[in-house]
Amino acid sequence: MRKETLEAAEEQVFVEMPVGEFAADVLEETFTMGEPAEEMVETILEGEYSVTEKSKSIQRDAMSQELNYMELLAELQSQFVCLQYEFQYNLDKISNLDYEHRYKNPDYATYQANMARILDKSSYINQWTAELSKCSLFQKNLKKMYKEQIETVSAEVKRIEEENKRILSKAGCYSESELLVKQQSYNLNWSLCNTLAERNCSIKKECEGIILEYAQLFRGVEGVLNSEGFGNNKLVDDMAGKKAKIVLKEMYGNDFSEYGFQDACIKAETQLQNADKDRSYERGVRIR
């Protein structure tokens, strides 16, 4: 029994093993299968490289988009800083001009009115003096009346002349012509005061428009940048501050105030941060 089993096993081995050219073909087929496997590996590697490059490209695009939005927001914020600085500068100027208007009016109109009164009263004095000279010795009562009138009106003229002297002294002038020049300058300054007040009204509207544009732009990229909002982004603040400072220094020269600039930056950052969170700016409508 054991012998039959061994013979059957040997017969099976000889049947399964290839011989001659057929064995060589099998071996060749086994080794040639390595080529498509190698190509498959290369394809996989190339695919991984392509995915990696695509990922990097997406990241670069996202960073570029983020920087672009930050630049847009910084530009809006720099404009807002400049407007806030101008608004406060105008307000200080208006305050000074208003003080001059209230307390430093040269009052040329009063001076002129007084001069007209002096001329009018002087004409009466001259007339009464002429009538007095025509009175006879027997017209004592008439003479007395003319003298009293002349004395009374002369006192009024002197009082008016003293008032005009005070007007000149208060204005720091020595003549009517100097007072006129000062009044013209005063009128020009008061006109400037009104112009600055009108400009500040326009600035308020411009700031409202920038706040709206800023809020709309922020909501358009919400989630792309940091979740805290652009108003808290130090890079945007720095970019805006640098731009605004260059513009303001060029505009105001020696009148540029570092304190005023910092104050404008704080106001801009605060108001724009509030716009980020203010839902009433949605859909371009400011709900009051």
For residue range 95-111, list pLDDT tens digits in order.
Answer: 988 888 788 889 999 99
- Sign of the torsion angle spanned by Cα atoms 59, 61, 66, 70: positive
pLDDT of residue 236: 84
Of the pLDDT bands very low, low, confident and very high (cuts 50, 70, 90), residue 216 is confident
For every residue of 14-63, DSSP letters joined together read: HHHS--HHHHHHHHHHHHHTHHHHHHHHHHHHHHHHHHHHHHHHHHHHHH
For residue range 254-282, list pLDDT tens digits in order.
Answer: 999 999 999 999 999 888 877 756 544 44
CA dist., res. 24 & res. 15, Å (int)? 16
The predicted model scores a pTM of 0.59
The answer to whether residues 225 and 70 touch, using CB atoms and an 8 Å cutoff, is yes
Examine the pLDDT at 47 and tell me if it is beyond 70.
no
Examine the pLDDT at 52 and tell me if it is beyond 90.
no
Contacts of 191 (CB under 8 A, 6+ apart): none
For residue range 159-174, list pLDDT tens digits in order.
Answer: 999 999 999 999 999 9
Average of pLDDT values for 106-125? Answer: 94
Domains of the chain, residue spans: 76-103+201-288
Examine the pLDDT at 87 and tell me if it is beyond 90.
yes
